Structure 1
Amino acid sequence: MPRNEGVRYHTISEVSELLGVEPHVIRYWEKEFPQLKPRRIAGRRFYGSKEIELLRRIKHLLYEKGYTISGARKVLSGDDSGEAPCREILAEVRRELEELYRSLS
């Protein structure tokens, strides 16, 4: 496993287990998100902490926030045109309204 000044690299299997997604999903995300570039040595992928953090963010945007691949790509490239803050504000307002409704019931 490659080492670089104490940085630990993980195989795709380890990252897959860590994130709770299948390896083929990670390979697909590599094709869709140009920022995601794991190190390759002898044809094997190795992910450092930056790549793992990016994968966590991609998973969060797709699975928890409900973004499409295209939408997540825009958010990660910084070209979300204010869409992400609006969604987050709406989600927060919705949560507050649901809590208020439950407390009144």
Structure 2
Amino acid sequence: MGNEPRLGSKVFYKIGEVSQVTKLPAYVLRFWESQFPFLNPKKSRGNQRLYVRRDIETVLEIKRMLYEEGHTLEGVKRYWARRGRISPQRVKPKELAQKLRGSLRAILKLLESN
């Protein structure tokens, strides 16, 4: 792709730099962090977001899915969930327990029906 954004050789990028590379406002990047638990840039001692190359690639893929392909936020969330990109440290224990309980009940019903 000829118009693909270029990244330098830096290890970490601040949110302003990511905003310029992705052509997205910083508030959109912060909002997406709240919507996609796997998009979780590190924070510096001064509490600045520090994105790595993989974070930026993820942002660009989310942007493509939303803006070019016309997916909804919920659709993109489902897509990433199917890809297994849910970060375990951001999953709430109560939610995880409820999901596991539901899965175990479904397995139990299958076993009981045989």
Using the size of structure 1 for normalisation, the TM-score is: 0.66
User: Matched residues, percent identical?
Assistant: 32
Correspondence for 1:14 among 17, 30, 55: 17
Correspondence for 2:60 among 53, 56, 61: 56
Residue 7 of structure 1 and its aligned partner are, at CA, apart by: 5.9
Superposed CA RMSD in Å reads 1.4
Correspondences of 1:1-105 after superposition (within 5 Å): 8-41=11-44, 42-78=46-82
What CA distance in whole angstroms lies between the structure 1 residues aligned with 2:12 and 2:67?
25
- Unaligned segments of structure 1, at least 5 residues: 1-5, 80-105
- Say how many residue pairs are matched: 74
- Unaligned segments of structure 2, at least 5 residues: 1-8, 84-114
- Identify the residue that residue 100 of structure 1 maps to in structure 2: none
Residue 74 of structure 1 and its aligned partner are, at CA, apart by: 0.8
**CA offsets per residue over residues 28-87 of structure 1, 9 Å max, x none?**
0000001101010121000001100110111011001101111011111216xxxxxxxx
Moved over 4 A (4+): none
Using the size of structure 2 for normalisation, the TM-score is: 0.61
